Amino acid sequence: MKKENINELHSNKKQSFMSGVLTILIAQMVIKFLGLIYRLVITNIPYFGDEGNGLYSAGYQIYTLLLAIASIGVPNAIAKLVSERIAQGKNKEAHDIFKTALILFGLIGFTGSMFLFCGAEFIALQIGNIAVKGIMQALAPAIFFVAVSAVIRGYFNGMYNMKVTSRSQMLEQLFKSVLTILLVVLVYSLAVVNPNKISEIFNLSVENVTEKMAIVANAASTIAAMLCTGYLLLYYQKVKKEIWTDIRNSKGEYKKEKRSKIMKTILAVSIPISLASIVAAINRNIDTFTVMNGLKIALQGMYDSAEMITTEATRLYGILSGRVDTLIGLPTALNVAFATALVPAVSESMAKGDIKTAKKRVTFSFRTTLLIALPCAIGMAVLADPILKLLFPNVHAIEAPGLLQISAFTIIFTLINQTIGGALQGLGKVMVPAASMACGAIVKLILNLTLIKNPQIGIYGAAISSVASSCTVTIIEMFILTRHLKFDNSKTQMIFKPILATLIMGIAAYASHWMIATYLFNNALTTLIAIFVAVIAYFLAVLGLKIFDRDDYHMLPYGDKIYHFLERIKLVKT
């Protein structure tokens, strides 16, 4: 076995907290970039557009709900249990947890797959569009494969080996992106461009091409999940000998437990952690079940038939779920790394009684989260219309810019919730994220039912309720966290300075776009220049306001080199 594989297995000693963050950060950026690319391509394909996004997203959100039950909380739960035992030198117990979890969640994942496949028609009727049935059935097998993958990822995350998780996620997204584009283009070609006997066999026509494209787009997710699971199993087999060498060299006392008892231990941790993911998925599905049904009420009298109302409601939902949600989800790639790495890092620190290190990591992660969230939100709000025209030139909708401007503010609260949730889980407060998200879901449900059916508000009600919901979660989680772990920095350093830097950036973005647009009529070039100006303005504002001190730079990946470079160009004082 190559030396680098052995090093990965001992990564709890060789990978620092920020090295893990960097690994996950790079992976998440690649994943989000690939995800954006395939959504841009299929959205701009004729006959897909916003209606196709509406069908695609409705089926996918139901899938994510069942996936949350089967697996989403599993990586963090397994990582927490494994990291705690490895910190105590009990590597054999950590491996027993892994094997038991593989059996347990494999069964749960299989059950979830069967439930979605068999119940697809009933769920589609509740959503308000029977066309969603085929989309959910195409996604059903993926639940099993993702559940198995989640356990393997959690095991390696618990050993601070973030590389295998990151590689597998990137590979899965690459497979998904390529297959989605290829399959959607193939269906479009067979149904519209070059109909033939194959088109007749698969019942492909212009009348149903949007639905069929949405189905194969989601089928690509299933194929990608299967391929990713295969990669992770092959990787585990490859390093299995080194895992057992590590187990034999561990010094902790091994206590063999019955598999049933291990299952109870896993469920005792994974259920509370999964509850947060389940509630978050329920929160997203509130839109799935209420937006189209609410819009049907709001659109009464505006169209001649129920079919036209359903099509328009699906289109409006597609704008929100396909274009707007895709864009506001991009910044999570920059922040999810901190939330993911915080769980095992804080768990290990607390297990050792090292509260100072736990506090330092949480404080740094929270401040960095604000520095990511604020400019992303304000940037999208200020440049909403030109960004949408740049990315979706073939799909125009007057509702899209307003929806993006409102929804952009959810970025701030969503990213803060990611980081605080990771910190709370690491501290053992695993029920807090779930409880706070449940409160947010209640707020969202009430506002959705009240606002969307109002013809004067319509689809904008869903965006307003999302902001209110995520803000509610933030208030609750922040209150609980600060009661158990105080931040090191002052409010000025942590909050007010990042807000000031963001205001400077927002003014620069708006002013530069307005001035450049006066002379240039090319929206793409104007928008890209405005974004570049905004980035430079923000970078200089962060440096000028001294938001990071020398210790903060050293916590960053390659922080020493970054700080010395800034010293040489005199952007920081020696």
Predicted pLDDT at 7? 42
Predicted pLDDT at 5? 46
Structure tokens at 101: 């979890």
Task: Tell me which H or E stretch contains 263.
Answer: helix 259-298
| Non-local CB neighbours of 252 within 8 Å, separated by 6+ positions | 85, 88, 89, 90, 91, 93
Predicted pLDDT at 32? 83
Q: Tell me: the pLDDT tens digits for 289-346?
A: 999 999 999 998 888 888 899 889 999 999 998 899 989 988 887 777 666 666 666 7
Predicted pLDDT at 257? 78
Burial status of residue 392 (CB atoms within 10 A of its CB: 0-12, 13-18, 19 or more): buried
Q: In order along the chain (574 residues), what is the average pLDDT of each group of 10 residues?
A: 43 50 74 89 92 90 84 76 82 87 91 94 89 93 94 85 83 94 95 90 90 94 95 91 81 78 84 77 88 92 87 92 90 72 67 73 81 93 93 87 95 90 79 89 96 95 96 93 74 82 94 87 88 94 82 66 77 64
The Cα 501–Cα 538 span in angstroms is 6
The Cα 35–Cα 568 span in angstroms is 38
- Residue pair 426/351 in contact (Cβ under 8 Å)? The answer is no
